[in-house]
Amino acid sequence: MKRGQDFQKDIEELAISWGEALKTGDHRTANRQNNTITGIAKKFKKDKDLSASILAPLLQHPNPSVRLLASVHALDQGIHIQEAENTLIDVANDPNIHVIQVMAQINLSQWNKKKTAFLNRKTS
């Protein structure tokens, strides 16, 4: 089985490629890269410590595509929630990254809906 650093490197490279494909309008490549990243994330989803060791450094990556996808998967796996949410907000508020910003805004909206639904269930 791959080590955490190998997964991390794969996600980093795929996320950068995904972001570049989005910027150039190559939706086929973007979808393929995103599906591959999701498949990788599923491999370590059951191990929260491994997930945290892979995704936490990616939340600080200089590339916004990497940060965006790391935050989405961290939130999905329930790890580093506050840092992942803050990262998602930062990317969503960056007007210099255009389509990546829009993707972050969409994901932030979805995250806020899930959070609101969860809080409503808790108070009911």
pLDDT digits (tens, 9 = 90+) for 33-83: 999 999 999 988 888 899 999 999 999 999 999 999 999 999 999 999 999
Task: Output the pTM of the full model.
Answer: 0.91
pLDDT, residue 122, reads 75
pLDDT, residue 46, reads 85
pLDDT, residue 14, reads 97
Number of H helices, E strands in the chain: 6, 0
Average pLDDT, the chain: 93
CB burial class (10 A; 0-12, 13-18, 19+) of residue 36?
middle
The CATH code belonging to domain 4-123 is 1.25.40.70
> d(Cα 44, Cα 120) in Å, to the nearest integer?
30
